[in-house]
Amino acid sequence: YIILLTTFWIANCEEEYCSVDSTAACGEKKECNIQYKKVLNEQYTKYYNAIEEAENNYYNTCNNNNNDCYNNIILRDLKPFKEEGINKDLISIAKNRGTFYQIIDGKLYRQKECMFPSRCAGIEHFILKLAPRLPDMDLVINVRDYPQSSKHFGSPLPIFSFSKTRQYYDITYPAWSFWEGGPAISLYPRGLGRWDEHRRSLDKASNNTVWERKENKAFFRGSRTSAERDNLVLLSRKRPELVDARYTKNQAWKSDEDTLYAPPASEVPLEAHCNYKYLFNYRGVAASFRHKHLFLCRSLVFHVGDEWTEFYYDAMLPWLHYIPVPKDADQTVLESLIQFVIHNDKLSKTIADRGRDFIWNNLRMADIEQFWEKLLKKYSELLTYKATLDKHLIKINRTEKS
């Protein structure tokens, strides 16, 4: 690593800092470059150490044999209810924050209204399959983006949400968009969904664009659902040879102000992301669905921030499966991280491959189904009463699609 780093310094010094005419200016620049190199050296050493530590501490427990990669998440989320259990009153309060479901005698029932019908359908696809082998239970599923049971307001509510931070009690479930109901953009007018199909098409795209053929650039395309994305977009405007990051329109777009004072970019299909070596993932309103797709490109994922998670995130490790980026990283930090991976191509490919293998092997449709099953079985053990059918609910039947 150190040899590589020194080589990079020398190349960088000759290229960038001694090309001016005046010898004095060149001398000054050299002085400045020494400082610059010192800072860079410290940063790079930090990155190398982090990677080495991650590699040394990694025990491959998540190998899919027992499907135990995500057990900790179930234990963590159900822990607040373990001592006293979940009684009917808690469910009644939770009902105001989500969609009420029941599983009775192996059949699935739901309140008539669902705020986002295709999201409900995306969830029902999984539960319908499992219902015949699940015990009776009441459950409240939040289909909004945002979690509902804050640790700062009141006691834990038993409500299922697809994404949350550690500041919420919500019980994490696999998002609807593994099947349907993901955000509808012009490229995916019926909503991003069908993870099984994306797995296949992204695998094909990644085989067609092997590492050596990818562009040596960082890439991001998406709308401005969070201002955390701004610094990368601004860096891209300044250093287009290093980053291509632009904002697209979403349904809320009104003017160029919503795309950070530039015309919106065209949307780029997920498969075309595979043309780039470095792919950025940012949170949106909550966790962004793009996360899992990026890994399947066999590109190196830069994952920004560690607060907003989906059920599988914590089983992936920073520096081992992806490059972690602080959520408040300014343009200088972003640039230094991108330079670091560019100058460590072999190491970058190793991390990219590990990230891809994790998602490919441990986030199959079967893993999602098994997570749902374990989660609902464990959850039902906490109910302190016997669920009985609420006559106001409608029965959910399997459709051809599900």
Judged by the rule CB under 6 A, the positions of this chain that interact with ligand UDP are 183, 185, 187, 192, 221-223, 225, 248, 250, 267-268, 270, 284, 288-290
Q: At a CB cut-off of 8 Å and minimum separation 6, what does 298 contact?
A: 206, 210, 211, 274, 352, 353, 356
CB of 185 to ligand UDP, least distance (A): 5
CB of 278 to ligand UDP, least distance (A): 15
Q: Which is nearer to ligand UDP, 185 or 260 (CB)?
A: 185
Q: Which is nearer to ligand UDP, 29 or 224 (CB)?
A: 224
CB of 326 to ligand UDP, least distance (A): 19
Q: Which is nearer to ligand UDP, 18 or 184 (CB)?
A: 184
Instruction: Quote the Cα angle for 6-12-18, to 5°.
Output: 125
Q: Which is nearer to ligand UDP, 172 or 248 (CB)?
A: 248
CB of 46 to ligand UDP, least distance (A): 29
| Cβ pair 209, 188 in contact under 8 A | no
Half-sphere exposure of 257 (CA within 13 A, CB side): 3
| Cβ pair 235, 260 in contact under 8 A | no
Taking the C-alpha atoms of residue 205 and residue 213, their distance in angstroms, rounded to an integer, is 12
| Cβ pair 102, 61 in contact under 8 A | no
Residue keyed to tokens 């590699």: 55
Q: Find the largest Cα–Cα distance for the chain.
A: 87
CB of 213 to ligand UDP, least distance (A): 21
**Which residue of the chain is nearest ligand UDP when measured via CB?**
284
On the 0-12 / 13-18 / 19+ scale of CB atoms within 10 A, 11 is: exposed
Alpha helix segments (H runs only) across 22-95? 23-57, 71-78, 88-95
Q: Which is nearer to ligand UDP, 58 or 253 (CB)?
A: 253
Known catalytic residues are 145
Taking the C-alpha atoms of residue 211 and residue 213, their distance in angstroms, rounded to an integer, is 5
Q: Which is nearer to ligand UDP, 131 or 296 (CB)?
A: 296
- DSSP state letter for 351: H
